[in-house]
Amino acid sequence: MKKVFPALLLTVCLSVTKQAALACSCIYLSDYFCITLGESNLFGSNHQITFGKVISKYIAGQNQGPVMDVEVIEWLKTEDPTLDTISVPGQDGLNCNESLFYFEVGDTVVLALYDGGGPGQGIPYPIFNLLGCGRYFLEYSGGNVVGPIRPGLSAESYTDFKNGLGTCSLLTDTEEIPTEDVLIALYPNPASDQLHLKMDSRFGAPDRLYVVNAFGQVLSLHTTRSDDGVITAVDVSALSPGLYFVVLEFGNSRRTKKWVKV
């Protein structure tokens, strides 16, 4: 399935703390859970996956947005297996999280999450973010995990799903273009103010070139272009230090190149 870039996913980038009110649209990775995990892994994302039950929904937090508390039944992938209850903020107009419209108290679900830190204003448990930039959740019913797991599979026993998570997170739906290093050179890397890009003309200009953070969120940055419209430099001075990616799209294929902001 081709990628979708919905114009309505306008939020504020979570990791760009120096750019107040910086608009961000996230790449909608896939309608399938496994492919979403696999594609986001290309950006260096580190998911924590839980199987749990929604025990409450309410309004709280700095932006007075929707939150749901989830009682953990089992951590399928985690850095801290001792957590037994977590809080998951929903879309509040200032983040890239999933809408909590899909969840009701009493639902049992599988969630692929990102650690969001400790409790917040009116939020009692450690916070984990559920992104809305792809399919990061599945439902559970009658012993089966149900929903768009991967193409051709919409239901699987919990045991089989759990045992197959390692393979699941490796799936992608794009073909990779070889010889990444000859496609584009980034310098300096690490960069502090200007990141320069040099394309190999033998491969032609990409259909799209953009910068994303570790969450896969597209960043709105000032760019310098050549006479033929190709981006040759990006102003990265306002970004917070950390790991970022330049993404090049050629038709249905995509390449990513890591760089570091210092």
Hey, what long-range contacts does 63-70 have (CB within 8 A, 24 or more apart)? 63/92, 63/93, 63/94, 64/92, 65/89, 65/90, 65/91, 65/92, 65/93, 65/94, 65/95, 66/90, 66/91, 66/92, 66/100, 67/100, 67/123, 68/100, 68/103, 69/124, 69/125, 70/109, 70/111
CATH architecture of 180-261: Sandwich (2.60)
pLDDT tens for the chain, 262 residues long, are: 333 333 223 232 333 333 333 333 567 778 889 888 887 776 666 789 999 999 999 998 777 789 999 999 999 998 888 999 999 998 877 778 888 989 999 999 999 998 887 777 889 999 999 988 889 999 999 999 999 998 888 999 999 999 988 888 766 654 343 444 446 788 888 889 998 888 766 566 777 778 887 767 788 888 888 777 777 889 999 998 887 878 777 766 667 777 888 8
What are the boundaries of each domain within the chain? 31-168, 180-261
pTM of the model as a whole: 0.63
Contact at 8 Å (CB) between 91 and 66? Answer: yes
Domain 31-168's class?
Answer: mainly beta
